[in-house]
């Protein structure tokens, strides 16, 4: 089945640092999505990408849909404590969404 490979699995950073994470797939996706999940909650959509090569920003977040349609990255600039959580990349495949395993972001005190 289709798989999304996310890296890194975990990140430990200082507040104020920039963050970069990416996602690759063996299959082509028509839509790439980035979600954030806080502990005990459901995923919340951060950014949706619809076209190959598209670069989209949402505040301090920037994401790009790779030209090959098999990869995407998410950058977070100037991280703050509330950025802590799990970030999932996901792709639309027909009527379902396929999720990666997530990147766990920790901010060191």
Partner 1 sequence: NAGVMQNPRHLVRRRGQEARLRCSPMKGHSHVYWYRQLPEEGLKFMVYLQKENIIDESGMPKERFSAEFPKEGPSILRIQQVVRGDSAAYFCASSPYGRLSTDTQYFGPGTRLTVL
Q: Give residues in contact with partner 1 (CB under 8 A).
A: 4, 30-31, 35, 40-45, 48, 50, 88, 90, 92, 94-102
Q: At closest approach, how far in Å is the CB of 93 from partner 1? A: 8
Q: How far apart (Å, rounded) are the C-alpha atoms in residues 87 and 100?
A: 9
Residue 59: asked if its preceding bond is cis (omega within 30°), the reply is no
Collect all residues with Cβ–Cβ distance below 8 Å to 10 and sequence separation of at least 6.
Answer: 103, 104, 105, 106
Q: At closest approach, how far in Å is the CB of 34 from partner 1? A: 12
Q: At closest approach, how far in Å is the CB of 81 from partner 1? A: 21
Adjacent-strand bridge partners of 74: 21, 63
Instruction: Closer to partner 1 by CB, 19 or 47: give it.
Output: 47
Instruction: Closer to partner 1 by CB, 96 or 106: give it.
Output: 96
């Amino acid at each position: 089945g289709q798989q999304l490979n996310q890296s890194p699995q975990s990140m430990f950073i200082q507040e104020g640092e920039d963050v970069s994470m990416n996602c690759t797939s063996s299959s082509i996706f028509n839509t790439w999505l980035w979600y954030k999940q806080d502990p005990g909650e459901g995923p919340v959509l951060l950014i949706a990408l619809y076209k190959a090569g598209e670069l989209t920003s949402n505040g301090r977040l920037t994401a790009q849909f790779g030209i090959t349609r098999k990869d995407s990255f998410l950058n977070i600039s100037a991280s703050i404590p509330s950025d802590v959580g799990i970030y999932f990349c996901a792709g639309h495949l027909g009527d379902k969404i396929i999720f990666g395993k997530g990147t766990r972001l920790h901010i060191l005190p």
